[in-house]
Amino acid sequence: MRALLAGGSKHAGRLGLTALALCLGLGQTSAPVQAADGPARLPAPVAAALFKAQVPASAVSLLVTDVSGQQLPRLSHRADAAMNPASAMKLVTTYAALDLLGPQFTWITTALADGALRNDELEGNLLLRGGGDPKLVVERLQAFLAQVQASGVRTVRGDIVLDRSAFALRTLAAGDFDGEPLRPYNTQPDALLINFKTLVMTFTPDPARGLALVRHEPPLSGVAVDASVPLAPTSARCGDWRSDLRASVDNAQRVQFSGHYPAACGERVWPSAYADPASFAARAVEGSWRLLGGQLSGRVRDASADELARWQRSGSASGQRVPLRLELASLPLRDIVHDINKFSNNVMAQQLFLTLGLQGQRSQADGTLAAGRAAVQAWWQKTLPGQAAPVLDNGSGLSRIERISASSLAGLLQHAAHSPVAGELLASLPVAGVDATMRERVKGAAGQAFIKTGSLRDVSAVAGYVLGADGARYAVVGIINHPNAGAGRAALDALIQWVALQR
């Protein structure tokens, strides 16, 4: 599962977290002020890049203002226009969560032995209750199941029953957003989200046997994955190796490879969303339980409505006192926010957004997107009353509905810079020329820019902090909404470089 998140650093660039906070002026007590919008002459490098990309200035929103908020903006162009920010919207979700829940907040996954327990055998059902953990990867799931077995449940004379009821979601097909159901970024939220509902396959060349060996995780009950694929001719280059595999990943029972794998690629990892996401949790739990040596006479299934009702009343589906109860705490929120922003993980952001709904005002709290929207809007009105509120959908930016202005995003960045969680938010941002989604971007400002990116069809965005050559600290937001937005990304990079060169 590490392959899904590989490439990031726990620290923003080569500087330590404390030094970064000091450099950016984070944690100071001066209050941010609202940026005034107005006509602006675009910096020459930005204007030239927009012209080359054939993106009109009317499709662009830009704001550059100092972090302290004590000066007029250095650049303001259509800063009050409501724009689709793509994944830059994750800044709203993650800052709201850090502020409302605290960096140490955790999610709890629970295991209950519901029945009589004798000699490592459970006469009854084993219940697994999901609490919304955004990063219940296979290593952590298996460690938890091993703990259950070590605590005296090695054989289940019944079913393993899954409670996924914490989140109440309307049924969506994985490909509803863009017709790409097997792309991991389209994974839908789940109260028992295991391994991001993603099958991770590792290909390792074995030239002596003329094969590439295939390993996969997690083990999925009832799913067979080819253990090898022939190597391509030795002269083959490592090009579009995934297409060369000619894989059938849309079959829920079998993953096959009818092509070949180029040895020149070395070892490669392919995360693929599973073809039947609704059954992923059950298959992963059963596969892992048996891999660890556990026995199961029944099956792994979702809890029925009656079982859920009894469980909520008494703590078990049978209504009897349970002989075993174990809890698995998630990674702390600060680590979850790091992964969300560094790697722009959509499903983790949506899990967090739904959690804000669960943790909201108790009269309205539930695990729905509507409750998440209400919780974030209430937080916004209290925290940033002078800024126009965003239009929210699922909090991840994977949406055609979400909107926010550059002025509002910059206001959020200014406010965050003076908050007790300034360091945690900063540490989660990709660093220009160093890591994550900014590793290959704006290398001329390497280590000076800490930027959340956003990208959709017709959308390109950047938002974050930049250290200027003049020693000033700037909040920078740039959003393009246009069919040529992808080509316009160079203009946003030019904007960051221009800010870094300010004297």
CATH number at residue 461: 3.40.710.10
323 lies in the same domain as 243: no
Q: Is the pLDDT of residue 452 over 90?
A: yes
Element (H, E) at 423: helix 422-427
Preceding peptide of 218 cis, ω within 30°: yes
The C-alpha atoms of residue 447 and residue 204 are separated, in whole angstroms, by 34
44 lies in the same domain as 190:
no
185 vs 346: CA distance, rounded Å: 6
Q: Which is more confident, 236 or 185? A: 236
- State the Cα–Cα distance between residues 467 and 447, nearest whole angstrom: 9
Residue by residue, what is the 3-state secondary structure of 32-66?
Answer: CCCCCCCCCCCCHHHHHHHHHHCCCHHHEEEEEEE
Residue 454, domain member (yes or no):
yes
Would you state the pLDDT for residue 22? Answer: 39
Q: Is 234 exposed, middle or buried (0-12, 13-18, 19+ CB in 10 A)?
A: exposed
350/434 same-domain check: yes
What is the pLDDT confidence band of residue 4, given thresholds at 50, 70 and 90?
very low
pLDDT at residue 2, rounded to an integer: 37
Cβ neighbours for 45, distance < 8 A, ≥ 6 positions apart: 494, 497, 498
Nearest C-alpha neighbor of 343 from the set 380, 292, 396, 272? 396
Please state the rounded mean pLDDT for residues 154-170: 93
Instruction: Report pLDDT for 169.
Output: 80
d(CA 405, CA 37): 11
As a whole number, mean pLDDT of residues 37-46 equals: 75
Query: 390 with 90: CB under 8 angstroms?
Result: no
Q: Is the dihedral of CA 293, 297, 302, 305 positive or negative?
A: negative
Domain contains 254: yes
- DSSP state for residue 399 in the 8-state scheme: -
Contact 473, 25 (CB under 8 A): yes
pLDDT band, very low/low/confident/very high, at 187 (cuts 50, 70, 90): confident
Residues 342 and 323 in one domain: no
Phi-psi region of 111 (alpha: psi -120 to 50; beta: other; left: phi over 0): beta
In a domain, 179, yes or no: no
- 400 torsion bin: left (phi>0), alpha (psi -120 to 50), beta (else): alpha
Angle at 437 between CA 216 and CA 465, to 5 degrees: 145
Better-scored residue on pLDDT, 261 or 503: 261
**353 and 233 part of one domain:** no
Q: Which of 99, 186, 189 is nearest to 136 (CA)?
A: 189
Show which of 276, 302, 320 is a domain's final residue: 276
Domain with 138 in it: what CATH number?
3.50.80.20
Position 169: which residue type?
Answer: L
Which element (helix H / strand E) includes 114? strand 108-118
Domain count, the chain: 3
Q: Are residues 134 and 205 in the same domain?
A: no
Residues pairing with 467 in the sheet: 473
Domain-located, residue 494: yes
DSSP-assigned letter for residue 15: S
Is 247's pLDDT higher than 80? yes
Between 21 and 367, name the one with better pLDDT.
Answer: 367
Domain identity same for 78 and 213: no
User: Side by side, which strands form the sheet with 254-257?
Assistant: 224-225, 254-257, 247-248
Q: Is residue 227 domain-shared with residue 358, that is, in the same domain?
A: no
My answer on whether 214 and 90 are in the same domain is: no
User: What string of H, E and C letters represents the secondary structure of 199-261?
Assistant: EEEEEEEECCCCEEEEEEECCCCCCEECCEEEECCCCCCCCCHHHHHCEECCCCCEEEECCCE
| Close Cβ partners of 146 (under 8 Å, ≥ 6 residues apart) | 292
Strands of the sheet containing 211-217, edge to edge, are 228-230, 211-217, 198-206, 268-273
User: Is it the case that residue 135 has pLDDT exceeding 90?
Assistant: yes
Q: Is residue 177 part of a domain?
A: no
Tell me whether residue 65 is in a domain. yes
State pTM to two decimals: 0.89
Query: Does 292 lie in the same domain as 224?
Result: no
Q: Does 37 have pLDDT greater than 60? A: no
User: Which residues are CB-neighbours of 195 under 8 A, at least 6 positions away?
Assistant: 1, 136, 137, 138, 141, 217, 218, 280, 284
- Pair 100, 120 in one domain: no
How far is it, in rounded angstroms, from Cα 103 to Cα 93? 13
Evaluate whether residue 196 is within a structural domain: yes
Q: Which domain holds residue 166?
A: 108-172+278-329
Last residue of a domain, one of 329, 349, 372: 329
Measured CA to CA in angstroms, residue 297 lies from 61, 144, 155 at distances of 60, 20, 8
Asked if 252 contacts 282 with a C-beta cutoff of 8 angstroms, the reply is: no
How long, in residues, is the chain?
A: 503
366/456 same-domain check: yes
Dump pLDDT digits (tens) for 365-414.
688 999 999 999 999 999 999 899 999 999 999 999 999 999 999 999 99
Least confident of 320-329, 361-370, 407-416: 361-370
CB-CB contact of 376 with 92 (8 Å):
yes
Structure tokens at 39: 């006509």
Kindly state whether residue 178 falls inside one of the protein's structural domains.
no
